[in-house]
Amino acid sequence: MTIQKSLPLNANGVPLSAAEAQVLKNGLPSTLSDIDPSRLTITLASTLKTLPEPESLVFGEVTTDHMLYMDFSPERGWSQPQIMPYGPLNLDPASSCFQYCPNVFEGLKAYLALDGTPRLFRPQLNMDRMVISAERVALPPFNADALLTLIKRFVALEARWIPRVRGCSLYIRPTLIGTRASLGVTASTHAALYVVLSPTGPYIRNSEGKGISLLAMSDQVRAWPGGTGGYKLGLNYAPGFVAQRKAAALGYQQLLWLLGETVSEAGAMNVFAVFKRPDGELDVVTPPLDGTILPGVTRASVLSLLSYRPHITALPQLPTDVRINVSERVLTMSELFAASTADTLQEFFCVGTAAVVIPARRIGWQRSSADSSDVEDIRLPVVGGQGSLAQALWERLVDIQEGRVEWEGWGVTCTASD
């Protein structure tokens, strides 16, 4: 008698196909196509858009002429990648991305070097994080190096969109979504991967030289231990929209996310606090990567630059004789308030791909959500400008991003032949 092995079932008790079961169990088999840049086809738009003035740019509002697209099925693997005119996607209404949020995205930027060559900033870190995020929500695997090659070619094609103004850039948004056309509660074995580009200026408008205001709220949390806060997933962001509206209604620009009293992130940015010791040395503190905090590329870059200073590199406008001690440890609101009262809290700043580095001018803490007047404020003594650590880091990072300073191979050039 022959015993036939049954196929795995989805959450509704329906058997998966053999191809679907293979992908879910073992990842991408060698019989399926992976992302292959040599198969790239390019279809140019018949009419190109007019370039906007850099001063008019609002983050994410304008997209370029084209998009990069490919999709995955468990029967054939990844499709032939295409650069095509920007336009809508054709998705089944039952696609899992609409129902259960297996949606992953990344954010990186392209800059123009002094010779006009497009360049990326540490893009491999974004690709590595995207792979990990895709694994977290059981989306099909992909070759991150091949995706990066395609992104570099795409950016080279759209190089005219990179603003030629210091601090401006071309934002790159790779997105991976589950497209399995079924309402069954199970991992998506089908996917679409696309990349769109958007020229951008300051992430938070009218904040230059003034810093931003943050409201720490205790009644809602961004992430929790064992959850998905350490991954770049779409599902992490929508729950914060209502809280962001509350902060805006109270006169604050961004949320400072807490877990109890413990500080985690500000909006979608990592945070750093700067304390001054009695001997004049500075303690720079950022919350540890405990699974609730996204491992930001800019965060890692700030930590690296601070660790090299002053022995290998200096930071602009910052005295080299000021010793900086860096630590990744728990940071609480009570500690921030106590340091503010003692005049030892020098700076508090946020970092991220979109904002680079942006200081906070005040931090409010709403201990109780029931009473909107129950907000205590910390006023920061140093808010950007000459002599601030935030400003020094912003200048050095932008110099590296735009190729004025070469550092540790962080700048990666883009050409059509990549």
Helix (H/G/I), strand (E/B), else coil: 102: coil
The per-residue pLDDT for range 170-183, each reduced to its tens digit, is 999 999 999 999 99
The predicted model gives 35-51 an average pLDDT of 97
CA dihedral 151, 155, 158, 160 (to 10 degrees): 170
Q: Does the pLDDT value for residue 159 go beyond 70?
A: yes
As a whole number of angstroms, the distance between CA 149 and CA 139 comes to: 21
Q: Does the pLDDT value for residue 6 go beyond 70?
A: no
Q: Which residues pair with 378 in a beta bridge?
A: 363
Q: Does the pLDDT value for residue 71 go beyond 80?
A: yes
More confident residue, 101 or 206: 101
The DSSP code for 64 is -
pLDDT band at 7 (very low <50, low <70, confident <90, very high): very low
Q: What is the CATH number of domain 18-200?
A: 3.30.470.10
The per-residue pLDDT for range 381-398, each reduced to its tens digit, is 877 776 799 999 999 999
Q: Which residues of 91-205 form beta strands (DSSP E)?
A: 103-105, 108-112, 118-121, 169-178, 191-200
Residue 42 backbone dihedrals phi, psi, to 5 degrees:
-125, 120
Helix (H/G/I), strand (E/B), else coil: 130: helix
**Single-letter residue type at 90:** N
Residue 240: both structure tokens together: 């914060």
As a whole number of angstroms, the distance between CA 102 and CA 124 comes to: 22
The third-level CATH classification (topology) of the domain covering 212-401 is D-amino Acid Aminotransferase; Chain A, domain 2 (3.20.10)
Of 236, 389, 211, the C-alpha closest to 316 is 389
Domain edges within the chain: 18-200, 212-401
How high is the mean pLDDT of the chain?
Answer: 89
pLDDT band at 206 (very low <50, low <70, confident <90, very high): low
As a whole number of angstroms, the distance between CA 110 and CA 161 comes to: 10
| 227, 294 Cβ separation under 8 angstroms | no
The predicted model gives 60-69 an average pLDDT of 96
The per-residue pLDDT for range 292-347, each reduced to its tens digit, is 999 999 999 999 999 887 666 678 877 778 889 999 999 999 999 999 999 999 99
Q: Does the pLDDT value for residue 275 go beyond 50?
A: yes
Q: For 352, how many CA atoms within 13 A lie in the half-sphere containing its CB?
A: 21
pLDDT score, position 411? 95
- List the single range of 9-18, 63-72, 280-289 with lowest mean pLDDT: 9-18
Q: Does the pLDDT value for residue 241 go beyond 70?
A: yes
- List of residues 6+ apart from 70 with CB closer than 8 A: 35, 78, 79, 80, 81, 82, 192, 193, 194
The predicted model gives 394-405 an average pLDDT of 93
Give the burial string for 128-147 (b: 16+ CB within 10 Å, else e): ebbbebbeebebbbbbbebb
The per-residue pLDDT for range 92-132, each reduced to its tens digit, is 999 999 999 999 999 999 999 988 999 999 999 999 999 99
**Single-letter residue type at 296:** G
pLDDT band at 220 (very low <50, low <70, confident <90, very high): confident
| 391, 398 Cβ separation under 8 angstroms | no
| 144, 183 Cβ separation under 8 angstroms | no
As a whole number of angstroms, the distance between CA 394 and CA 351 comes to: 9
Residue 247 vs residues 158, 193, 261, 404: alpha-carbon distances, Å: 37, 34, 17, 38
